[in-house]
Structure 1
């Protein structure tokens, strides 16, 4: 479960393996999930309970979405003026490459889903929608980093003409 969580959500909602299990234990105590089976090395498979389904539906329909985005890349952009032009160019090239690679990973995952490698359940289709958001978000961030290389402060402002 931790691997799957990281594969799909790791770059947008990171969670460490112990955090996931602690949360599952908390949800089990609250009656929102239950252990469906236990395998080797005490690995547990969980399933959502009826109460859990009700709570997720309540969260989806009654709780306001937190639209806060904490993107350190954008926070740093406020201070690009403090970097040397060459340093900033290297930084932005690196960021563009990073986000292109993430977008490509998500595209690959989307193609696997579209080929039916994970079936066609409602859950799989919802994950596909999430993956598409990742593709589009990371593509947009790569495009932004490419664009930012073409404007001040990444390119020095030409001196005014006399």
Structure 2
């Protein structure tokens, strides 16, 4: 239910159009919950149908500005305080790490270097957002900075771990990394 609650949370800050919400996603929530234009507009329609948001104003060319309704605010607060978050335990990247013994050690190191590079790239993107994320004291600025900092620390940890893991893999280039691997 992440997108639903992300939109309710943004609308709890004040009325916004679908376009406005997309822009906020791009500069703040993409790190934790990315969404496409079609997903945002579809979910806004579902929220309106459920009575959780309402069209606060309608402008030129059918542009709608939505605001959160009282049931939407109650749903958001319930989700924030009473619903335990799903803790993701699956990682395709780490699943592959478990089986890197099936490829040559140089291939295993290359895979880990790619993971380090992906984490470095994500860290650079997030660092660039630091200048965009509000420096104010409003809720979106304060808690947005907290979420951004988590992303920065997590991507740094991923990069450091992948670089460490490259060094942990022994063997010469082309030497078997583990048992049962085809030559």
Does TM-score exceed 0.5, indicating one fold? yes
SS at match of 2:133: helix
The alignment yields a C-alpha RMSD, in angstroms, of: 2.4
CA distance in 2, matches of 1:54, 1:125: 22
Q: Provide the TM-score with structure 2 as the length reference.
A: 0.72
Gaps of 5+ in 2: 1-20, 173-183
Match for 1:133 among 131, 150, 154? 150
Q: Between the two structures, name the one with larger relative contact order (CA 8 Å, sep ≥ 6).
A: 2
CA distance in 2, matches of 1:45, 1:82: 54
Partner of 1:160 in structure 2? none
SS at match of 1:113: coil
SS at match of 1:149: helix
CA distance in 2, matches of 1:128, 1:15: 19
C-alpha distance after superposition, 1:23-81 (max 9, x if no partner): 11111111111223344543433222222111111111111121124332112111111
Match for 2:87 among 67, 82, 105? 67
Q: Which runs of 4+ in 1 moved over 6 A?
A: none
Mapping of 1:1-162 within 5 angstroms?
A: 1-10=21-30, 12-113=32-133, 116=135, 119-152=136-169, 155-156=170-171
Residues 29 and 18 of structure 1: CA distance in aligned 2, closer, same or farther (over 3 Å): same
Q: Which range is displaced more, 61-70 or 134-143? A: 61-70
Residues 103 and 146 of structure 1: CA distance in aligned 2, closer, same or farther (over 3 Å): same
Q: Which range is displaced more, 38-47 or 49-58? A: 38-47
Gaps of 5+ in 1: 158-162
